[in-house]
Amino acid sequence: MFTNVLRSSTRIASVARPAIQLQPRTLAAPSTARLYHERVMDHYSNPRNVGSLNKNDMDVGTGVVGAPACGDVMKLQIMVDDKGLISDVKFKTFGCGSAIASSSFMTERVRGLTLDEAGAIKNTDIARELSLPPVKLHCSMLAEDAIRSAIRNYKSKAQERGGSFTGSIDVAQSVSTGETTADPKPGVV
Amino acid sequence: MKVFSINLRNISRFSTSTTKFYIPLCDSKYYSVLFQGSDTSTPPHAFNLSNTTLKQNYLSKQKQFHPDKPNIDHDYALQTSSLINKAYETLLHPLSRAVYLLELNGIEIAESDSIHDSTLLMDMLELREQLEDAQSEEEVTQLRHDNGQSIQQTTHLLSQAFENNDLESAKNLTIKLRYLCNLDVAARDWQPGAPVVIQH
Does the pLDDT of residue A187 top 80, yes or no? no
Does the pLDDT of residue A138 top 80, yes or no? yes
What is the rounded CA–CA span in Å between residue B127 and residue B196? 13
Residue A51 near chain B (CB below 8 Å): no
Confidence of residue B45 (pLDDT cuts 50, 70, 90): low
Nearest chain A residue to B181, by CA: A71
Q: Please state, in angstroms and as integers, the Cα–Cα distance from residue B88 to each residue in A159, B21, B76, B162, following that order.
A: 54, 17, 18, 20
Chain B closest-CA separation from residue A13 CA (Å): 37
Bridge partners for A135 per DSSP: none
Residue B190 near chain A (CB below 8 Å): no
- The residues spanned by each domain of chain A are 38-156
Residue B115 near chain A (CB below 8 Å): yes
Helix, strand or coil, per DSSP, at residue A161:
coil
- Within 8 A of A94 by CB-CB distance, chain B residues are 124-125, 128, 182, 186, 196, 198
| Helical segments of B105-193, H only | 118-133, 137-163, 167-188
**Higher local confidence (pLDDT), A145 or B36:** A145
What is the rounded CA–CA span in Å between residue B88 and residue B53? 11
- Within 8 A of B119 by CB-CB distance, chain A residues are none
The fraction of chain A above a pLDDT of 70, given in percent, is 74
Is 0.80 surpassed by the pTM of this model?
Answer: no
> Which option is the CATH number for B118-189: 3.30.1490.190, 1.20.140.10, 1.20.1280.20, 1.10.150.120?
1.20.1280.20
Q: Please state, in angstroms and as integers, the Cα–Cα distance from residue A84 to each residue in A80, A163, B161, B198, following that order.
A: 6, 12, 47, 36
Residues A69, B125: C-beta atoms closer than 8 Å: no
Residue A41 near chain B (CB below 8 Å): no
pLDDT, tens digit, 9 for 90 and up, residues B112-137 = 787 878 899 999 999 999 998 899 99
Per-residue pLDDT at B44: 61
pLDDT, tens digit, 9 for 90 and up, residues A9-31 = 434 333 333 333 333 344 444 44
**A38-156: which CATH architecture?**
Alpha-Beta Complex (3.90)
Per-residue pLDDT at B72: 81
pLDDT, tens digit, 9 for 90 and up, residues A121-137 = 999 999 998 888 888 88
CB A139 within 8 A of CB A98: yes
Residue B105's φ and ψ, nearest 5 degrees, are: -95, 10
Over residues B37-62, the mean pLDDT reads: 79
What is the rounded CA–CA span in Å between residue B175 and residue B109? 8
Confidence of residue B19 (pLDDT cuts 50, 70, 90): very low
Residue A96's φ and ψ, nearest 5 degrees, are: -80, 175
pLDDT, tens digit, 9 for 90 and up, residues A38-69 = 777 888 888 899 999 999 999 999 999 999 98
Find, among A59, A57, A52, A56, the residue nearest to A74 by Cα: A52
Helix, strand or coil, per DSSP, at residue A45:
helix
pLDDT, tens digit, 9 for 90 and up, residues B137-190 = 999 999 999 999 999 999 999 999 999 999 999 999 999 999 999 999 999 999
Per-residue pLDDT at B198: 55
Residues A66, B114: C-beta atoms closer than 8 Å: yes
Kindly report the length of chain A: 189
- Within 8 A of B127 by CB-CB distance, chain A residues are none
Q: In whole angstroms, how large is the CA radius of gyration of chain B?
A: 20
Residues A66, B124: C-beta atoms closer than 8 Å: yes
What is the rounded CA–CA span in Å between residue A102 and residue A48? 11
> What's the mean per-residue pLDDT of chain A?
79
- Within 8 A of B122 by CB-CB distance, chain A residues are 64
Bridge partners for A86 per DSSP: A80
What is the rounded CA–CA span in Å between residue B85 and residue B79? 10
- The residues spanned by each domain of chain B are 29-36+46-92, 118-189
Write out the catalytic residue numbers of A.
70, 139
Please report the residues numbered 146 through 175 in chain A whose beta carbons come closer than 8 angstroms to any beta carbon of chain B. Answer: none
Which ipTM was obtained for this model? 0.73
CB A67 within 8 A of CB A95: yes
CB A49 within 8 A of CB A141: no
Cβ-proximal residues to A76 (8 Å cutoff; 6+ apart), any chain: A62, A63, A65, A89, A90, A91, A103, A106, A107, A143, A146, A147, A149, A150
End-to-end Cα spacing for chain A:
86
Does the pLDDT of residue B65 top 90, yes or no? no
Cβ-proximal residues to A118 (8 Å cutoff; 6+ apart), any chain: A78, A86, A110, A147, A151
Out of A68, A96, A141, name the one closest to residue B115 (CB): A68
- Compute how many other C-beta atoms are within 10 angstroms of the C-beta atom of residue A93: 29
